[in-house]
């Protein structure tokens, strides 16, 4: 067995949820924490996604190792936010093929709302496993914030009536989920993660519970999705997140590659507004390293190839009519064109 056959790629984690429940704030917090804990020199930048390396997760999860023992084989986690409505409906169509696992962000003080339920239905349809980030615990009356502590530590520092209040909110969430046919439970009370949806109480504002969330995501994907995450050296498969016009590059597409390798000069097939587009990759780009917090849109570094999972910008001729949300495949073998066409048209 060669090294690459044993290698696991990073799971793609899609963040879904109702408007204003805190998806973007949560990702910002995770990104901020990662930048702080990152070792200098180690820099992977992504387009349309945020990468958290495994050693950062291991560092953060250190205090939890009795509860979530992890020695990570995955290289990290790749997060995709779902900002705005249009993008969301793209994801609805594409859903499962990109997400290995999802986080449903729920404002714990509001419980499941319309778009939370919509998200759950998409995940169920696409058979995407998910866990729930029960967000905004800092807004519980009497909550004493302990910035960046794991949930299991901060909860021990709360007054008894605050613990009871939180348990009641979780209980409401559990019964809402039961009505939708799901068993759910606070994550540290779960025995069998294949049968129960894990609820992780967090605050995107104070960072409490982020360690638990990352450790659990890493642990669960590695344990239950290993086959799916086995790295394949084959032609790339991906999905188009956005179509843009970039100065100097013309029309480009932001792509999440969930399988295989994308190389310069590869022939690609993708969906367009007026039908299938077949073209040749002219350039692959990632944001310039070391400027994470203020990466300007056009500050790009060209790369020769991109391995799954990754978020990259691709330039190629004839992308004016490329369709956001469409699948994209590398054609290695002309005889496969018809098969890919069908697959793209069916989406
Ligand atoms: P959409 O992208 O519009 O669907 O919203 P979103 O889910 O990305 O929510 P966003 O992160 O923009 O947060 C909405 C509001 O909630 C902002 O004002 C945040 O500051 C606030 N917020 C998010 N998380 C927390 C939290 O944990 N605690 C508190 N107190 N406020 C939060
Ligand atoms: Mg948002």
Give the pLDDT of residue 98.
83
| Residue 52 assigned ligand-binding role | no
| Residue 135 assigned ligand-binding role | yes
In this prediction, the answer to ipTM > 0.95 reads yes
Per-residue pLDDT of the chain (347 residues; tens, 9 = 90+): 444 456 899 999 999 999 999 999 999 999 888 777 777 666 567 888 889 999 999 999 988 988 888 889 999 999 988 764 544 555 555 544 589 999 999 999 999 998 899 889 888 988 899 999 999 999 999 999 999 999 999 999 999 999 999 999 999 999 999 999 999 999 999 999 999 999 999 999 999 999 999 999 999 999 899 888 988 889 999 999 889 998 889 999 999 999 999 999 999 999 999 999 999 999 999 987 644 444 455 578 899 999 999 999 999 999 999 998 899 999 998 888 999 999 888 87
Give the pLDDT of residue 71.
86
The protein residue whose alpha carbon is closest to atom 15 in ligand 1 is 20
pTM: 0.91
CA 105, CA 81: separation in Å to the nearest integer?
Answer: 11
Going from the Cα of 191 to the center of ligand 1, the distance in angstroms, rounded, reads: 31
Going from the Cα of 22 to the center of ligand 2, the distance in angstroms, rounded, reads: 7
Q: Which residues surround ligand 2, an ion (CB under 5 A)?
A: 23-24, 83
């Amino acid at each position: 067995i060669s090294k690459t056959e044993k290698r696991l790629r990073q799971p793609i984690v899609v963040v879904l949820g109702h408007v204003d429940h805190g998806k973007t704030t949560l990702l910002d917090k995770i990104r901020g924490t990662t930048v702080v804990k990152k070792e200098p020199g180690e820099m992977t930048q992504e387009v349309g996604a945020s990468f958290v390396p495994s050693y950062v997760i291991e560092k953060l999860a250190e205090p939890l190792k009795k509860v979530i023992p992890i020695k990570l084989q995955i290289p990290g986690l790749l997060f995709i936010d779902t900002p705005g409505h249009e993008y969301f409906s793209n994801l609805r169509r594409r859903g499962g093929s990109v997400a290995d696992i999802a986080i449903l962000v729920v404002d714990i003080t509001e419980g499941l709302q319309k778009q939370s339920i919509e998200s759950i239905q998409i995940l169920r349809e696409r058979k995407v496993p998910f866990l729930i980030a029960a967000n905004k615990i800092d807004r519980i009356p009497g909550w004493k914030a302990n910035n960046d502590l794991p949930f299991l530590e901060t909860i021990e520092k709360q007054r008894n009536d605050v613990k009871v209040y939180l348990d009641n909110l979780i209980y409401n969430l559990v019964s809402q989920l039961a009505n939708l046919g799901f068993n759910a439970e606070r994550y540290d009370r779960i025995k069998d993660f294949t049968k129960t949806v894990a609820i992780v109480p967090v605050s995107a504002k104070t960072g409490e519970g982020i360690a638990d969330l990352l450790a659990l995501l890493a642990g669960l994907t590695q344990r239950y999705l290993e086959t799916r995450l086995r790295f394949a050296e084959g032609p790339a498969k991906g999905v188009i997140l956005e179509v843009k016009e970039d100065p100097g590059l013309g029309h480009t597409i932001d792509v999440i590659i969930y399988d295989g390798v994308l190389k310069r000069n590869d022939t690609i097939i993708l969906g367009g507004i007026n039908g299938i587009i077949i073209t040749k990759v002219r350039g692959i780009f990632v944001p310039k390293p070391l400027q994470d917090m203020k990466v300007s849109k056009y500050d790009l570094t060209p790369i020769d190839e991109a391995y799954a999972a990754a978020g990259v910008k691709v330039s190629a001729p004839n992308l004016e009519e490329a369709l956001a949300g469409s699948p994209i495949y590398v054609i290695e073998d002309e005889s496969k064109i018809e098969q890919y066409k069908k697959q793209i048209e069916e989406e």
